[in-house]
Amino acid sequence: MATLAESFLNDLQELDDGEDDQQQIGGAAGGSGAAAAAAAANPEDDEHEPIPDAVEEYFRDKSGINAPSVVSSLAQQPRFIRLLEQARELTPQAAVASGEELALIEECNQLVIDIDTDILAVYRFIRDIYSIKFPELESIVQAPLEYIAVVQRIQNQTDLTQVDLSDLLPSPMIMALTVAASLSISSGSGGNSSNAGRRLPEEDLDKAMAAAKEALLLAEKRKEVLQYLESRMMLVAPNVSAILGAALTARLLTKVGGLENLAKMPAQNIMLVGSQKRSSLSLSTKGDASNAFSSLLCSCDLIMLTPPPYRKRAMRLLSGRVGLAARVDVYGNKPAAAAAAAEAAAAAAAADADATGEDAELEEGIQIKDNNNPGEVGKQLREGIVQALMKAQEPPPAPIKKALPIPEERSKAKRGGKRHRRQKEQQEMTEIQKQLNRMKFGEQEDTVGLKGK
């Protein structure tokens, strides 16, 4: 009786004989199939290939890193994956002032800039596709991420009243979208094919949805990197963080490209960092032209808590103080380098056509008491901004009502005498002049008329 091992060997030999018979029957037409069968019958040729980890592949596919890219390939780059993993690992840990940590912060700053660039490229790709269906959407929803989220929500829907956009857009903007879509559909009935009632081809819609998924995935990864940067801002820029807060400081540094670039910028340029033209639909009905453009500094609590009439002054004060705090963070106790940066900022402000010379006014009278503690200068500058705004909001002093002087009881000496009487007599009418001015009773007065009588 054959053992179990011998029975297994016999079965394998039978399988090999069957495959040889199939190869002979296939002939020349089945040459490629025979080669494939031979490769499958010899698994020893693949013994050097690494076996993928199924669990790791599942989580990587779930995070979207291995998903095929439509526009942006940044999420598949090894540098992106490495920095993202380091940021996730170090975010809950305490900040350490080391060279590796500072180098990682610089790389994360650049990574956020790259992510913003790729998101803008994906937005343009989706806009070019979706403008065929809804061209008015671009003028109503101007923020790239909001536009992408709305496109992902609408897809090929023709009736926007059936789409819930309340969690993405404010009510006035939703109303404008609904009206624009209804007008486009009504005008499309007359033969216009480029309107919101037109359905995109499935191929174009799939491309737009895949690109939208990429953009939203990049936005999520950007938030993770920004969380790491926020946790390290007190290490990189303590004084700027003391004025603006860690979250806003991280966004500001990623926009300008680093702390050194911020230190070299004049105040009126810092004021406009991250400015975007707002849609008039998202504003109030007051028609305030100063709110047409919004920058990063507009989201600071000092600006938000200031009454609207004083926000322009608060913005000028804040931008100037942020520039000073950035120079202190970069150069510290190096007065020569700080002076050189201040001169560079002043030269840039003088070259700018919109420069108003306010930087020098803001820097006058600033006295830094202590520069040893991290963030102490920023706290002093923030207190100065608050005091200046409080003083500007004080009501003007009431007008002082002055009492009339007490009248004197004694009689005043008046000028008189012979000299005064003689002057009056010289100016008086004589008796002859008085007689000439008299008119006789009952006689007609002689007058000179047109004829000379």
C-alpha–C-alpha distance, residues 265 and 320, integer Å: 10
The 10s digit of each residue's pLDDT in 431-452 is 888 888 887 788 777 777 666 5
The top-scoring range by mean pLDDT among 88-102, 224-238, 302-316, 397-411 is 302-316
pLDDT at 347 over 60: no
pLDDT at 257: 81
pLDDT, residue 318, reads 93
Instruction: Calculate the CA dihedral of residues 241, 242, 243, 248 and round it to 10 degrees.
Output: 30
Across residues 277-283, what is the average pLDDT?
A: 50
Q: Are 299 and 232 in contact (CB under 8 A)?
A: no
Secondary structure (H, E, C), the chain:
CCCHHHHHHHHHHHHHHHHHHHHHHHCCCCHHHHHHHHHHHCHHHHCCCCCCCHHHHHHHHHHCCCCCCCCCCHHHCHHHHHHHHHHHHHCCCCCCCCHHHHHHHHHHHHHHHHHHHHHHHHHHHHHHHHCCCCCCHHHHCCCHHHHHHHHHHHCCCCCHHHCCCCCCCCHHHHHHHHHHHHHHHHHHCCCCCCCCCCCCCHHHHHHHHHHHHHHHHHHHHHHHHHHHHHHCHHHHCHHHHHHHCHHHHHHHHHHHCCHHHHHCCCHHHHCCCCCEECCHHHCCCCCCHHHCEECHHHHCHHHHCCCHHHHHHHHHHHHHHHHHHHHHHHHCCCHHHHHHHHHHHHHHHHHCCCCCCHHHHHHCCCCCCCCCCCCHHHHHHHHHHHHHHHHHCCCCCCCCCCCCCCCCCCCCCCCCCHHHHHHHHHHCCCHHHHHHCCCCCCCCCCCCCCCCC
Given this model, what pLDDT does residue 371 score?
A: 55
Average pLDDT over residues 134-148: 89
Distance between CA atoms of 122 and 262, rounded to whole angstroms? 28
Give me the count of residues in the chain.
Answer: 453
Q: What is the pLDDT of residues 47-100, one digit of tens each?
A: 455 555 544 554 454 444 444 556 778 888 888 888 888 888 888 877 766 778
Residue 248 has pLDDT above 90, yes or no: no
Cα–Cα dist 259/327, whole Å: 9
pLDDT of residue 362: 43
Answering whether pTM is above 0.85, one says: no
Confidence of residue 150 (pLDDT cuts 50, 70, 90): very high
- The one-letter amino acid code at 397 reads P
Comparing CA positions, the residue from 266, 144, 298, 263 lying closest to residue 215 is 144
pLDDT at 418 over 80: yes
Beta strand 293-294 pairing with 276-277: antiparallel
Residue 290 confidence (pLDDT) above 90: no
CA-wise closest residue to 257 among 106, 62, 408:
106
Average pLDDT of the residues in 246-255: 85
The residue with greater pLDDT, 344 or 76, is 76
pLDDT of residue 51: 57
Q: Is the pLDDT of residue 126 over 90?
A: yes
Max avg pLDDT among 154-163, 212-221, 283-292 = 212-221
For residues 202-229, average pLDDT: 90
Residue 237: CB atoms within 10 Å:
30
**CA 250 – CA 255 distance, rounded (Å):** 9
Average pLDDT score over the chain: 75
Domains of the chain and any CATH numbers: 65-233 (1.10.287.4070), 237-280+292-392 (1.10.246.90)
Confidence tier at 383 by pLDDT (50, 70, 90): very high
Mean pLDDT over 312-340 rounds to: 81
Residue 299, pLDDT > 80, answer: yes
Q: Left if phi > 0, otherwise alpha if psi is -120 to 50, otherwise beta: which for 287? A: left
Supply the pLDDT for residue 273: 87
With a cut of 70, say whether residue 117 has pLDDT above it: yes
In this structure, of 77-91, 158-172, 283-297, the range with the lowest mean pLDDT score is 283-297
Q: Is the torsion defined by CA of 8, 14, 17, 19 positive or negative?
A: negative
Token couple for 416: 């008189």
Q: How confident is the model at residue 36 (pLDDT cuts 50, 70, 90)?
A: very low
CA distance 299 to 306: 12
Contact 93, 237 (CB under 8 A): no
Q: What is the pLDDT of residue 64?
A: 47
**How many angstroms separate the CA atoms of 92 and 87, rounded?**
9
Least confident range of 69-83, 326-340, 411-425: 326-340
Phi first, then psi, for residue 293 (nearest 5°) are -120, 135
Cβ contact 165:281 at 8 Å: no
Give the pLDDT score at 451.
64
Unique residue bearing structure tokens 């596709």: 129
d(CA 68, CA 393): 57
| Lowest-confidence pick of 22-31, 70-79, 136-145 | 22-31
